[in-house]
Structure 1
Amino acid sequence: MLRILREHATSWMLKGILLLVAVTFISWGGYSLIREKKETYAARVNGVVIEMRDFGESYQNVMKQYRDALGPSFSEKMAEELRLKEKVLNDLISRVLILQEAARLGFDISNEELRESIESVPSFQVNGQFDRRLYERFLRINRMSAEQFERTQREGLLFLKVTDLIRLNAGRVSEEELLETYLFENERINLHFLKIAPESFGAQVTLNEMEIKEYFQKHPEEFRIPTFVQIQYLLFRPSDFEGKVQVSSEEIKRYYDLHKDRFRIPKKVRAREILIHVSPEDPPNRVEEKRKKAEEILEKLKKTKDFVSLAKQYSESKTASRGGEMGWIQRGTLEESVERALFSMKAGEVSGVTIGRNGFYIFKVDEVVEEKGRSLEEVRDQILQTLKKEKAKSEASRKAEDAFYSLFRSRDLEGYAREKGVPIKTTALFKEGDYIPEIGKDPAFYSSAFSLKVGEISPVVNIPPNLYILKLIDRKESRIPPLEEVREEVRKKVLGMKCEEKARQVAEDLLNQIRSGRNMNEVAREKGFPLQETGFFTRTGGLVPKIGLVGDSIALLSSLTEKTPLPKEVLRIKDTYFVVRLAALEPADLGQFPSIKKNLQKRLLLQKQEESFQYWLEQLRAKAKIEINKDLL
């Protein structure tokens, strides 16, 4: 177990997101993956086609999850580094394989199981009871028949039934595994390191014409110019119809009655805080000192009743200058332990010492506003806008479908645009992956555009919030250019490779000298590389201070001990090399083990179950005939 932990430890945030990504393909909703064969496809799994459209929708969902989780720090480059396209496609392939295995084993979902599953969906309930009108409305909005949705839901339940069965037979977690994992995950290390960057060798590396020609001749595909297309498209915007649709008072009232739970104002509290900050680097004795300090402040507070003055005097939060004033707080805005304390208190009450992410807290609640429902009049305008948007979306969809059937023979988008007053746009030539003004980077748009022949039009393409009909105006096929056209690109490529190879050789030479017994500091001074220090960190975080995300190289750091402070090889992060040495190790605090043992046991059991499931899935893949559309990745 520990070996597996060492080899696969990574960032906790990315673990959480990747788990969320996996859940995307388990949850109900969306269309079935198993459809009739079409011209374009993402993959074929034992003869079953995964359509490009399904891949595009799944990929966009995953991208949205990452953007929501990571905010502005998430980029297209990060998506490429995480190989999200490959992951999404693998998850879709896995889903098809699991459903095929379920059929082979004779697994099934009864009509009763299906009915209970659908009736338990909160979106289909009013006051905890299934409401058929909500169910039918969901089907209308998503333009699905009951048969389509129920088939998809049945597939999802079947998927869960098989995967749950495999996971539940994964074994148990021993006491030794628990303790060993706790010690490994909670010890902290400090590294000395030398950074050897390829760009620092640019002046030392030479390049001749023969090397450029030879590399180009051996790797022409690296410089292939991809296919470019130019598209003319009709644009159907729901926003263009919002001012034209009509919504009656009866419709507003009916919507309100069906969705009263959405219009409740949640409970909120106005509170103050005193924080005694605890740093991750604080040793156990220092943490205990800070806890006692918080307890002492609480005792003073019980005597003086002057929370504002004590907050100004002792609090280490940014709110200290305001007497600890936190403002109004609703559930879901703070960490769970803090919210649990705040929302269990009445106005005027003071909490005990509460442990939070940033240290020890003491809270006082000044005011409480209980949850209440808003009246129809209060939310009438909100409902009106919601219904307008829904109707406008349906109207835009109807107009787009009408346009497609009208244009099926003539293909005259310009004439139709003039006659009907529909916006028409023409793109510049673009390749797959290019940013398209007003559309962005959308797999569904690329898939449709690159599947057309010159002069052909596409079916309606849904790229929320708008709908499109595409016509291919021009197409320039992929080609391998002559060397003269890409000479500078080839030169930079070969030069970069030679610089990286030089950096690797220097890094390995440095490591070998240190392994032979030479002092790391002396070697660093002699070679002109500054000796740097990371500071203390846990090995399971995946992020090494001053070095970066280590990814698969976490196994190399996990092997370091006081007896073997040097790794067997240099550390490579992207194109940069690091020579590292364990400088110090801070053991885990055994006193904290009993308090987290239960949660750790749950997590390790889930991990064992997942490892068992992944092994089973690998066996399925090994036996399957899988054909992947190489252009996709």
Structure 2
Amino acid sequence: TYYKDNIAAYQTPEQRHARHILLGASESDSPSVHEEKKKKAEEILQLLKKQGDFAALAEQYSDDPSKGTGGDLGFFSRGSMVPEFEKSVFAMQPNQISEVIKTPFGYHIIKLEEIKAASTRPLEEVKADIVRDIQSKQGKQMAFQLANDAYEGIIKAGSLKSYTDSHTDIAVIDTDFFTRSKPPEDIGQNQKFLDAAFALNKGELSSLIETETGYAILFASDKKEPAVPALESIQERVTADFVAYKSEQKAKTTAAEILEKLKKGTPLNETVANSPFKPQDSGFLSRKNPNSSTVFPASLYEKVFQLSKSSPLAKEPAKLDDSYLVYVFQERKIPENTLTDKDMQLYRENLVRFKQQQLLTAWVTNLKEQAKITQHKSL
């Protein structure tokens, strides 16, 4: 039956709920750091053996972000943790506390809270899901069969028109001319559809094309080759584009000249004294809270924050649509530390989490580098 053939989809593997206390030490840390962390972990383990409160000790000593919840890691299945940690957890019984376990993250003490046995959802519970899955698969198969029958029918009839004239129930959508960048609205950016459509010559029929809603057969009733329109028909647009281009080039040249003078030490006010340009003060800018009253574009904030008193100018003017901007660093104001203790703790936890991810990535990379691959000549 479908249920038995796809039983894995309705099974949940064994899961374990654990807490841990981590004394962080990476593989790049010195032996003295490892010795110190391991010793501290052993001391905490002794406290736990004297009926110490695991959650309270985790909050007090753990270097893991889970310390905020007493070291609680929630439920997890095999394959979720590094091998050393997993091996220990899945060998424990509820309420058991491990010895000190070393992993690439440091030294752990683990407490197993509970075990959730592997389970299989009963047929009665998943019957509705199975019906939907089967209907979806059968619907797709039926759509393919109908589309394939239509395709063969068109071939036998000799043309799309002959076939649709005798099969009035077949929906035919006639599009206007379209381009790859502006396909029909009901098709959107379906790459298979577009590739098939633009591979056809006038009068050609495509094979079956799968879309999000089913299958389609394309017929190229006409095709326009790329062409350059007569100048008379687009003269106004060409003139406007040329004027805009020349204006942009002039703006680019002028901005470059101003920047070059500034680099040679000419003050900004003196540089633009005999020009129509007037310097504008942006006021203090902030990455986190953009200044809504400033005329300075937010898109350049990142580049601005790379400037300093010793390097106050950008390498080149900034292009903004069809204009150019020259900007000069004036001064920097160091923000006051408005972070609360809670904010600082959150930043520390995020930093620890980031470091753990780096260590895990390095550990996996190291395993890959140490892997031995043997090629059997008989295969």
If the length of structure 1 is used for normalisation, what is the TM-score?
0.35
Aligned to 1:449: 197
Tell me how far 1:456 sits from its aligned partner.
3.5
Percent identity, aligned pairs only, is 28
Conserved? CA contact 1:275–1:317, under 8 Å: yes
Deviations 1:330-363 (A, max 9, x none): 2344444433332232222223333456544322
The alignment status of 1:602 with 2:335, answered yes or no, reads no
Counterpart of 1:362 (choices 83, 96, 109) is: 109
Cα 1:468–1:290 change in 2 (3 A) is farther
Conserved? CA contact 1:273–1:362, under 8 Å: yes
Larger RCO: 1 or 2 (CA < 8 Å, sep 6+): 1
447-456 or 435-444: which moved more? 435-444
Conserved? CA contact 1:416–1:422, under 8 Å: no
Cα 1:442–1:335 change in 2 (3 A) is farther
Equivalent runs, 1:34-49 vs 2, <5 Å: none
Aligned to 1:398: 145
Cα 1:405–1:289 change in 2 (3 A) is same
Matched residues in 2 for 1:427 and 1:283: separation?
Answer: 71
Cα 1:266–1:406 change in 2 (3 A) is same
Letter aligned with residue 366 of structure 1 = E
Aligned positions, number: 264
Tell me how far 1:463 sits from its aligned partner.
4.2
Aligned to 1:311: 58
Aligned to 1:377: 124
Counterpart of 2:136 (choices 380, 386, 389) is: 389
Matched residues in 2 for 1:320 and 1:283: separation?
Answer: 25
Aligned to 1:466: 214
Letter aligned with residue 70 of structure 2 = G
Counterpart of 1:349 (choices 87, 92, 96) is: 96
Letter aligned with residue 602 of structure 1 = Q
Conserved? CA contact 1:411–1:456, under 8 Å: no
Conserved? CA contact 1:272–1:325, under 8 Å: yes
The alignment status of 1:419 with 2:162, answered yes or no, reads no
Report the 3-state secondary structure (helix = DSSP H, G, I; strand = E; otherwise coil) of the residue aligned with 1:344: coil
Counterpart of 1:329 (choices 76, 99, 104) is: 76
The alignment status of 1:429 with 2:197, answered yes or no, reads no
Letter aligned with residue 14 of structure 2 = K
Aligned to 1:55: none
Report the 3-state secondary structure (helix = DSSP H, G, I; strand = E; otherwise coil) of the residue aligned with 1:460: strand
Report the 3-state secondary structure (helix = DSSP H, G, I; strand = E; otherwise coil) of the residue aligned with 2:23: strand
Conserved? CA contact 1:445–1:461, under 8 Å: yes
If the length of structure 2 is used for normalisation, what is the TM-score?
0.54
Letter aligned with residue 448 of structure 1 = A
Aligned to 2:48: 301
Matched residues in 1 for 2:37 and 2:166: separation?
Answer: 71
Cα 1:357–1:279 change in 2 (3 A) is closer
Letter aligned with residue 429 of structure 1 = F
Letter aligned with residue 217 of structure 2 = I
Equivalent runs, 1:488-527 vs 2, <5 Å: none
Matched residues in 2 for 1:305 and 1:423: separation?
Answer: 76
Report the 3-state secondary structure (helix = DSSP H, G, I; strand = E; otherwise coil) of the residue aligned with 1:419: coil
Matched residues in 1 for 2:174 and 2:92: separation?
Answer: 59
Tell me how far 1:396 sits from its aligned partner.
0.7
Report the 3-state secondary structure (helix = DSSP H, G, I; strand = E; otherwise coil) of the residue aligned with 2:220: strand
Tell me how far 1:397 sits from its aligned partner.
0.4
Matched residues in 2 for 1:377 and 1:386: separation?
Answer: 15
Cα 1:266–1:414 change in 2 (3 A) is same
Determine which structure has more spread, i.e. the larger CA radius of gyration.
Answer: 2
Aligned to 1:82: none
Letter aligned with residue 87 of structure 2 = R
Tell me how far 1:367 sits from its aligned partner.
0.9
4+ runs deviating over 6 angstroms? 433-436, 480-483, 488-492
Tell me how far 1:301 sits from its aligned partner.
1.6
Letter aligned with residue 390 of structure 1 = K
Tell me how far 1:425 sits from its aligned partner.
7.4
Matched residues in 2 for 1:476 and 1:525: separation?
Answer: 59
Contiguous gaps of at least 5 residues in structure 1:
1-253, 507-523, 531-594, 610-633
Matched residues in 2 for 1:467 and 1:361: separation?
Answer: 56
Conserved? CA contact 2:154–2:163, under 8 Å: no
Contiguous gaps of at least 5 residues in structure 2:
232-236, 264-307, 315-362
Report the 3-state secondary structure (helix = DSSP H, G, I; strand = E; otherwise coil) of the residue aligned with 1:454: coil
Matched residues in 1 for 2:40 and 2:97: separation?
Answer: 17
Tell me how far 1:480 sits from its aligned partner.
6.7
Cα 1:406–1:367 change in 2 (3 A) is same
Deviations 1:284-336 (A, max 9, x none): 64454334333332222222242122122222333323222222222344444
Conserved? CA contact 1:274–1:362, under 8 Å: yes
Cα 1:323–1:399 change in 2 (3 A) is same
Report the 3-state secondary structure (helix = DSSP H, G, I; strand = E; otherwise coil) of the residue aligned with 1:368: strand
Deviations 1:261-296 (A, max 9, x none): 443321011222223345798666445433433333
Matched residues in 2 for 1:278 and 1:415: separation?
Answer: 73
Matched residues in 1 for 2:10 and 2:128: separation?
Answer: 12
Conserved? CA contact 1:417–1:424, under 8 Å: no
